[in-house]
Structure 1
Amino acid sequence: MQLVLTYALLAMIATVANIGAQELMIQGYSGKFGVLLSVVVGTGVGLVVKYILDKRYIFRFRARSAVHDTRIFALYSLMGLATTVVFWGFEFGFNHMFETKEMRYMGGVIGLIIGYLVKYQLDKRYVFCQKG
């Protein structure tokens, strides 16, 4: 149960980082591609924050070197592609349906929750698994 609560708390932190980065981008640039750019930047910020938190507090992973850490981060990112499609689908879908920033963010949060539930299983099985 402790792992579930810790994972939920860290997922919330990463979600706030993602949505916060999006809002900062939109405040700075709200032109034709503002929403797309903000979602891309938010995704990048959320990815890095979530990786740092997951590897330390969830999987207690220690890289052997910077090269090893880079490889693990690349695999972590690769595992996140499918979950990113879910997240973006909800966020852009809500944006299209409701046409408000608040509902776009709501879609993003829903997509992130679903994505993080799936991502944990992928990371546990394929990224941070112990190999002999």
Structure 2
Amino acid sequence: MTLQTLILRYAGFALLATIANLAIQRFVLQFGETAYHFAGAVGAGTIVGLVIKYVLDKRWIFYDVETGVKNHSRKFSLYTAMGLVTTAIFWGIETAFWLIWQTDMMRELGAILGLSVGYVVKYNLDRRFVFTDQQLAAST
């Protein structure tokens, strides 16, 4: 895969996961706008985005065709661990935008900015620590 294809594919998958994340957040926030609703929205959106991104990255970015519960459990655990740092980036920026402006539009702008920065960092962590035995990881 060329670098341009990699970037477009990865960005496309990040966009899909981001849209799913924000859609879940909007759904949860329909039930209220308290701090608990906000935390629940951010948490639920993050889980949905994480699962979508893992499935797409595993197959279409890192060409990982391993199957089985043992392999998926190990890789998903590592993938999630690498996401802890990037999730902190995402949550921090989204929360800062919410606290400063307290509007849905700015919260979502903060989420998009945080996710964008986080995904760049995450790709590099995943390539180095999660999908180490895959063809792409060895060639880039």
5+ residue gaps, structure 2: 135-140
Pairwise mapping of residues 24-39 of structure 1 onto structure 2 (< 5 A)? 24-39=27-42
* Pairwise CA distance, 1:67: 1.4
Give the percent of matched residue pairs that are identical in Structure 1 and Structure 2.
43
Listed one character per residue, the Cα deviations across residues 61-117 of structure 1 (whole Å, up to 9, x for unaligned) are: 122421111110000000000000000000000000001011001101100000000
Q: 2:72 aligns with which of 54, 61, 69?
A: 69
How far apart, CA to CA, are the structure 2 residues paired with 1:63 and 1:71? 11
Q: What is the aligned partner in structure 2 of residue 41 from structure 1?
A: 44
Pairwise mapping of residues 69-88 of structure 1 onto structure 2 (< 5 A)? 69-88=72-91
The root-mean-square deviation of aligned C-alpha atoms, in Å, is 1.2
Aligned length: 131
AA matched with 1:4: I
Q: What is the aligned partner in structure 2 of residue 116 from structure 1?
A: 119
Greater shift, 21-30 or 82-91, is seen at 21-30
Listed one character per residue, the Cα deviations across residues 23-76 of structure 1 (whole Å, up to 9, x for unaligned) are: 111113434411111000001111001101100110111224211111100000
Look up the SS of the partner of 1:63 in the other structure.
coil
1:11 aligns with 2:14: yes
AA matched with 1:3: L
- TM-score where L is the length of structure 1: 0.95
AA matched with 2:13: L
Q: What is the aligned partner in structure 1 of residue 138 from structure 2?
A: none
1:129 aligns with 2:132: yes
How far apart, CA to CA, are the structure 2 residues paired with 1:56 and 1:15? 18
How far apart, CA to CA, are the structure 2 residues paired with 1:40 and 1:49? 15
AA matched with 1:17: A
Look up the SS of the partner of 2:124 in the other structure.
helix
How far apart, CA to CA, are the structure 2 residues paired with 1:68 and 1:38? 30
- TM-score where L is the length of structure 2: 0.89
